[in-house]
Amino acid sequence: MSLSLYDVTLPAFIRSFENLSAILKKGEAFADEKGLEHKTLLEARLIEDMGPLTAQIQRASDTAKFVAVRVAGIDNVPMADEEVTFADLHARIEKTVEILKAVEASAMDGKDEIEVVLKTGSGSKTFTARDYVLGFAIPNFYFHVTTAYAILRHKGVPIGKMDYLGSR
Amino acid sequence: MSLSLYDVTLPAFIRSFENLSAILKKGEAFADEKGLEHKTLLEARLIEDMGPLTAQIQRASDTAKFVAVRVAGIDNVPMADEEVTFADLHARIEKTVEILKAVEASAMDGKDEIEVVLKTGSGSKTFTARDYVLGFAIPNFYFHVTTAYAILRHKGVPIGKMDYLGSR
């Protein structure tokens, strides 16, 4: 046993948000270079009933923040999902990273078996914090970051796997 | 410290492969229902220079397998990336899951600081096993599973987040 719930979540999420921020900058630069309206990318979706780029950033933000709320026990900081520009998305990411950075690693110690209840469309689902982190939060976080990447890649933005993984 | 390198990788990957297998079955059923050739999905890409569905499964397989090779120290089992049908992809997933299930959790104990060297386009990159798992293997694994999902979703396959996360 060498890792804590904190180790496997918030530091990795912070790093991924830094990569995501750089990816969004490449998206914006691409739009400007091609003379595309920014909303061509910001409102882009892989299919009509899937969330657009803005929603993918919002859901990545919520997924990361709620690990801090549900496991570390910090007060929730509601965010209104009103982002419509690249600058708004960067502000959302910065605010989220600030929240994550303020969490002490020790705030998640000994929390593996606490109960985490998620509301679902059909009711609610109860996890231990450990199962919530490994089986829900981590895959869900990378789902939304990857989908943001996929939307931009699909639209022709010149990004590659190293942008997603980061080069450090 | 409540989690091991094993806890945060192979069991989660095995579960995700089970979800991925169910997603592929929904893709195949959709193609059959719509009278589409299977290759319309199997060879589908989000953009021309990105890997098709088959490659996403192959890379998810390799990413998971190489955690077992590089951290648990099992012998590599080369796989030739020759999958062209849904049945081939299911066989690839089954073979990968079999390899992962054969790894003893204890084989990854005490390995956090061992050196992991990845070949890259421009040379090589050296990680500790811990950084390799948290900063490379986990995000890369979910990248390819999500991209497989995204390709099928983009093509109209009726799948949702619960198919990706699993309902257990």
Question: What was the ipTM of the complex prediction?
Answer: 0.97
Q: Phi, psi (5° rounding) for residue B45?
A: -135, 160
Interface contact flag, A134 B7, Cβ < 8 Å: yes
End-to-end C-alpha distance for chain B, whole angstroms: 26
CB atoms inside a 10 Å sphere around CB B61: 26
Per-residue model confidence as pLDDT tens digits over B115-131: 999 987 778 999 999 99
CB contacts, 8 Å: A153 with chain B: 46-47, 50
- Partners of residue A7 in chain B, C-beta under 8 Å: 3, 134
Whether the Cβ atoms of residue B70 and residue B132 lie closer than 8 Å to each other: yes
pTM higher than 0.90 for the full model? yes
CA distance B2 to chain A (A): 5
What's the pLDDT score for residue A120?
A: 77
What span, in angstroms and rounded, lies between the C-alpha atoms of B120 and B131?
16
Give dist(CA B64, CA B58) in Å, integer.
10
Tens of pLDDT, residue by residue over B37-50, are 999 999 999 999 99
Q: Which pLDDT score, from 0 to 100, does residue A167 have?
A: 77
Inter-chain touch A46–B46, beta carbons under 8 Å: yes
Nearest beta carbon to residue B4 from set A1, A16, A153: A1
Helix-, strand-, coil-residue percentages of chain B, each rounded to 5: 60, 10, 30
H/E stretch holding A139: helix A138-154
Interface test with A, best of B146, B151, B155, B164 (most A CBs within 10 A): B146
Under CATH, which number does the domain B10-165 receive? 1.20.120.450
The shortest C-alpha distance from A11 to chain B (Å) reads 9
Q: What is the predicted pLDDT for the residue at B132?
A: 97
Report pLDDT digits (tens) over A81-126: 999 999 999 999 999 999 999 999 999 999 999 999 998 777 899 9
